[in-house]
A and B are shown apart, each in its own frame.
Chain A
Amino acid sequence: MPEVRVSHLFKKFGNVNVLNDIDFTINEGEFFTLLGPSGCGKSTTLNCIAGLEQPTAGSIAVGGTPFVDTERGIYVPTEERNLGMVFQSYALWPQMTVSKNLAMPLSIRRASRGDKAERIHDALDKVGLSHLKDRYPHELSGGQQQRVALARALVYSPSVLLLDEPLSNLDAKLREQARAWLKRLQEDLGITTVYVTHDQDEALSLSDRIAVMFEGHMAQIGTPKEIYERPATAHVAAFVGSCNFFTGKLENRNGRICQVRLDNTGAIVTIVADGDFTIGQEVTVAIRPEKLAITPEAIDVAGVNVLHTEVLTRSYVGSRYEYGLRLGRNVVQVVSADGGLDGAVRLVFDPEDALLYPGVTIPSQEAQELMTVSA
Chain B
Amino acid sequence: MAILATERPAPVQQRAVLPAPKYRKVFGVGRSRLFQYVVIVILALFVIAPIVPILYQSFTDRPLYEAGGILTVQNYVHLFTDSGFGTVILNTAIFAVSTTVLTLVIAVPMAVLVVRTRLPFGKVLGLSMQWPFYISSLILSFGWITLYGPAGFVSVVVRDAIGFVPWNLYSLGGMAVTEAVALAPIAYVFCANALRQSDASLESAAQVCGAKPLRILFSVVIPMLRPPVVYASILTFSMALETLSVPLLYGTPVKIEVFSTFLYTNGLQSIRPDYGILGAASTIILFVTIATVFVQAKVLKNSQRFISVRGKATRPRRLELGWIRWVGAAGILLYVIFGATLPILGLVFRSFTLIFTPLQSPFKTLTLANYDRIFTYTAYINSIVNSVIIAAVGAVLISCLALAAVLVAKRSNFRFARTVEYLALGPQAIPGIIVGIGFFWAFALLPNALGGLFQGALAGLIVAFGLRALPTAFGSISPALMQIANELDNAARTSGADWLGAFMRVLRSLLFPAFMGAIILVFVTMMKEYSAALFLSSAHTGVIGTTMLELWVQGNSGSVAALATIQIAITAVFVAVASQFMKGHADA
User: A residues near B, CB below 8 A?
Assistant: 50-52, 54, 77-85, 87-89, 91-95, 104-106, 108-111, 119, 122, 125-128, 141, 143, 149, 152-153, 156-157, 159, 162, 174, 177-178, 180-181, 184-185, 188-190
Whether A91 touches B501, Cβ cut-off 8 Å, given contacts A85-B494, A109-B20, A143-B1, is no
Segment with Cβ contacts to A, from B272-280, B328-336, B483-491, B518-526: B483-491
Q: List, in ascending order, chain B residues with CB within 8 A of A91's CB.
A: 485, 487-488, 490-491
Chain A residue with the shortest CB-CB distance to B488: A91
6 A-B contacts (beta carbon < 8 Å): A54-B413, A79-B494, A79-B501, A84-B494, A109-B21, A143-B4
B25 vs chain A, min Cβ distance (A): 10
B15 within 8 A of A: yes
Least Cβ distance of A169 to chain B in Å?
12
Q: Which residues of A contact B189 (CB under 8 A)?
A: none
A157 touches B18 (CB 8 A): yes
**A52→B493 contact, CB < 8 A:** yes
| B-chain residues with CB within 8 Å of residue A174 when the two chains form the complex | 1, 4
Report the nearest A residue to B30, measured CB to CB.
A77
Q: Which 6 pairs show the lowest CB-CB distances between chains A and B? A: A82-B20, A105-B495, A91-B487, A91-B491, A85-B494, A78-B493
Smallest CB separation, B20 vs chain A (Å)? 4
Indicate whether B361 reaches chain A with its CB closer than 8 angstroms.
no
Residue of A nearest to B20 (CB): A82
**Contact, CB under 8 Å: B506 / A82:** no
Least Cβ distance of B410 to chain A in Å?
16
B496 contacts A156, CB within 8 Å?
Answer: yes
Q: Which one of B12, B23, B495 contacts A189 once the chains associate, using CB atoms below 8 Å?
A: B12
In the complex, how many angstroms separate the beta carbon of B418 from the nearest chain A beta carbon?
14
> Do A108 and B487 have beta carbons less than 8 Å apart?
no
**Pair A80/B22 contact, Cβ less than 8 Å:** yes
What's the dominant secondary structure at chain B's contact region? loop
**Is B3 on the interface with A (CB-CB < 8 A)?**
yes
Question: Which of B4, B23, B30, B510 has the most CB atoms of chain A within a 10 A radius of its CB?
Answer: B4
* A87 and B20 contact, CB distance less than 8 A: no
Chain B, interface residues (CB within 8 Å), range: 35 or more
Alpha-carbon distance A84/B20, docked complex (angstroms) = 11
Q: Is the CB of B19 within 8 A of A82?
A: yes
- A84-B491 Cα distance, complex, nearest whole Å: 9
The residues of A that contact B4 with a CB separation of less than 8 Å are: 143, 174, 177-178, 181
- Given A50-B490, A141-B1, A184-B9, output 9 extra A-B contacts at Cβ < 8 Å: A77-B493, A78-B494, A79-B494, A79-B497, A80-B21, A93-B506, A108-B495, A109-B496, A157-B18
Which residues on the B side are within 8 Å of A184 (C-beta)? 8-9
Rounded to whole angstroms, the CA-CA distance of A189 and B20 in the bound complex is 20
Chain B residues with Cβ below 8 Å from A143 are: 1, 4
Task: Say if the beta carbon of B45 comes within 8 Å of chain A.
Answer: no
Once A174-B4, A177-B1 are accepted as A-B contacts, the answer to whether A79 and B23 lie under 8 Å apart by CB is yes
Complex CA gap A139/B230 in Å reads: 44
Q: How many Cβ-Cβ contacts under 8 Å join chain A to chain B?
A: 131
Query: B510 — which chain A residues lie within 8 A by C-beta?
Result: 94-95
CB pair A79–B21 under 8 Å, yes or no, is yes
Contact status A79-B496, CB under 8 Å: yes
Bound: A330/B497 CA distance, A: 57
- Hey, which chain A residues are within 8 Å of B496, CB to CB? 79-80, 82, 105, 108-109, 156
Most chain-A Cβ atoms within 10 A of its Cβ — which of B5, B11, B30? B5
Q: Could you tell me the distance between the alpha carbons of A93 and B17 in the complex, rounded to whole angstroms? A: 24
Interface 1/0s, chain B 504-518, versus A by CB < 8 A?
Answer: 011001100000000
B529 beta carbon closer than 8 Å to chain A: no
Chain B residues in 8 Å Cβ range of A83: 494
Instruction: Tell me if B10 is interfacial: C-beta within 8 Å of chain A.
Output: yes
Interface membership of B492, Cβ < 8 A: yes
Which of chain B's residues have a CB closer than 8 A to the CB of A128?
3, 7, 9
Instruction: Specify which chain A residues have a CB less than 8 angstroms from the CB of B413 in the assembled complex.
Output: 54
Query: Whole-angstrom distance between the alpha carbons of A104 and B502 in the complex?
Result: 10
| B13 adjacent to chain A (CB < 8 Å) | yes
Which of A79, A152, A181 is in CB contact (< 8 Å) with B20?
A79
Q: Which residues of B contact A156 (CB under 8 A)?
A: 18, 495-496
Determine if B242 is an interface residue (Cβ-Cβ < 8 Å).
no
Contacts A77-B498, A188-B9; is A104 near B20 (CB within 8 Å)?
no
CA distance A62 to B445 in the complex (A): 56
Please judge, given known A-B contacts A87-B490, A188-B9, whether A108 and B497 are in contact too, CB under 8 Å. yes
Expressed in whole angstroms, the Cα–Cα distance for A25 and B490 within the complex equals 25
A125 and B18: CB pair below 8 A? Answer: no
Question: Could you tell me if A79 and B491 are in contact, using CB atoms closer than 8 angstroms?
Answer: no
Q: How long is the Cα–Cα vector from A10 to B510 in the complex, in angstroms?
A: 35
Task: Tell me, yes or no, whether B127 is within 8 Å of chain A by CB.
Answer: no
A104 touches B490 (CB 8 A): no
Alpha-carbon distance between A89 and B23 when the two chains are bound, in angstroms: 28
Q: Kindly report which residue of chain A lies nearest to residue B8, judged by CB atoms.
A: A184
A125, closest chain B residue (CB): B10
User: Of residues B3, B9, B19, B506, which shows the largest number of chain A Cβ atoms within 10 Å of its Cβ?
Assistant: B9
Residues of B within 8 Å of A152, CB to CB, are 491, 495
Question: Cβ of B9 and Cβ of A52 under 8 Å apart?
Answer: no
A157 near B498: Cβ-Cβ < 8 Å: no
In the assembly, what is the distance between CA of A157 and CA of B495, in Å?
A: 11
